[in-house]
Structure 1
Amino acid sequence: MSDTEKEILVEEENEVVKEETTNKDEKSKKKKKNKLEEQLEDIQEELQTIKDKYYRALAETENYKKRMTEDLKRERKYAGLSLADKLIDSIEVFDQALNMETEDKNLKNFLYGFKMIKDMMFQALKDEGVMLIESKVGDDFDPTIHEAMDKEYNPDLKENTILKVVKKGYKYKDRVLRPTLVVTNIKPEEELKTENVEEINQESIENKEE
């Protein structure tokens, strides 16, 4: 083999070695790149998870703040409810005393003083948001502000209306403090059954005539 051929062979071998080295480097770089991309994806997923947890915690914190604010507003709004309920007991005692009938002048003067005190107390309650529930005979029965203590029937009045106000009711702002106790106008079951039988009989007669 001549020197020239040897040189060519050496050069070819060097080229092969270079190519193999280049291929190895490229494979190594590609492998590193893939590994970095995988790590980057893992980091991005972890970052997204952290973001989701953060926003969820932030939303829960905001909701908690809103609930606390609403609770505080509600507590302030109805702070006097318990006291108002107790004072109404005193007013009802005054009402019972004022309903007494007497011809005694001294007692009348005494009751007049009672009335003045009662009116002053109720005015103070009104200033704090207490209202009398206006209910009278003939009004429709409303279960949100009335409580039926008994039922009777007066055919001259509409059904499910108030026949008698037994005890006054009160509101504290927009809440019912005490419902008005009433007697309602309800037709007896026996009369209802009789009416139903009469209606059925009338329908039977009409059907036969047809």
Structure 2
Amino acid sequence: MTDTVKKPDPATAQEEETAPDTAVSNGEDSEAAEVSLQDELEEARRKAGEYHDRVLRMQAEMENLRKRAERDISNTHKYAIEKFAGELLQVKDSLELGLDAGEADAAKLQEGSALTLKVLTSALQKFAIEEVDPLGEPFDPNLHQAMTTEESDEHGPNTVIRVMQKGYTLHERLLRPAMVIVSRAPEESSG
């Protein structure tokens, strides 16, 4: 028997030598990739936490804004007539002064009533509340409510000939129609 010692093939020997290096290199690469992925994961988690915090803060801010708006609306409804009420208090004061002077003569009471009416009219005008006093004007169903009609030779048909109760508008929007009597043409007498 002959002992044959195989000589290593130079190409195979080189592969065997480089194979451990490749394995080591692959191990290092996968370790580096794992570290890189862990870093990316940590960064993504950090950003997700920041975004979550932002969302929570925005939700809290929106809730506070909603509550503030509700409170403002509530206060607006509660105190919408605050200035108007202040003006009406002057009218009340004038009426009380007139009642306190009950023993005064009729002329002074009438003068006090006229002044009180003037104060009230001024207060209404400050808040754009205007009178609708349509005497002599054509009947307008948007501003007037006809109580009845009367024949009239003096006025044309559908003319307001008497105002039973004045109407009022607020910024040109009707608060109360004027209660009126409207003219109609006289009936022809057959004869």
> How far is 1:134 from its partner?
3.9
Q: TM-score of the superposition, structure 1-length normalised?
A: 0.48
SS at match of 1:141: coil
Change (3 A) 1:133 1:24: same
Match of 1:124 among 110, 119, 124: 119
Structure 2 counterpart of 1:165 = 163
Q: What is the percentage of aligned positions where both structures have the same residue? A: 9
Match of 2:40 among 37, 40, 55: 37
Would you say how many aligned residue pairs link Structure 1 and Structure 2? 161
Alignment of 1:165-204 (within 5 A): 165-169=163-167, 174=171, 179-183=176-180, 185=182
Task: Name the amino acid aligned to 2:37.
Answer: N
Runs of 4+ in structure 1 off by over 6 angstroms are: 8-11
Q: Report if the CA contact (8 A) 2:161-2:183 is conserved.
A: no
Once superposed, what is the RMSD of the aligned Cα atoms? 4.9
Q: TM-score of the superposition, structure 2-length normalised?
A: 0.51
Which moved further from structure 2: 131-140 or 68-77? 68-77
Change (3 A) 1:124 1:51: same
> How far is 1:114 from its partner?
2.7
For the pair 1:19 / 2:30, whether they are aligned, the reply is no
Q: Report if the CA contact (8 A) 1:135-1:180 is conserved.
A: no
The Cα offsets for residues 32-75 of structure 1, whole Å up to 9 and x where unpaired, read as 43344345345434533543453454355456546655665675
Between the aligned partners of 2:175 and 2:106, the Cα distance in structure 1 is: 26
Structure 2 counterpart of 1:135 = 133
Between the aligned partners of 2:59 and 2:140, the Cα distance in structure 1 is: 48
The Cα offsets for residues 126-162 of structure 1, whole Å up to 9 and x where unpaired, read as 45x323514122155364xx46262537695465x64
Between the aligned partners of 1:30 and 1:53, the Cα distance in structure 2 is: 34
Larger helix proportion of the pair: 1
Between the aligned partners of 2:84 and 2:107, the Cα distance in structure 1 is: 28
Larger radius of gyration: 2
Change (3 A) 1:122 1:49: farther
Between the aligned partners of 1:158 and 1:68, the Cα distance in structure 2 is: 54
Task: Name the amino acid aligned to 1:148.
Answer: Q
Structure 1 counterpart of 2:187 = none
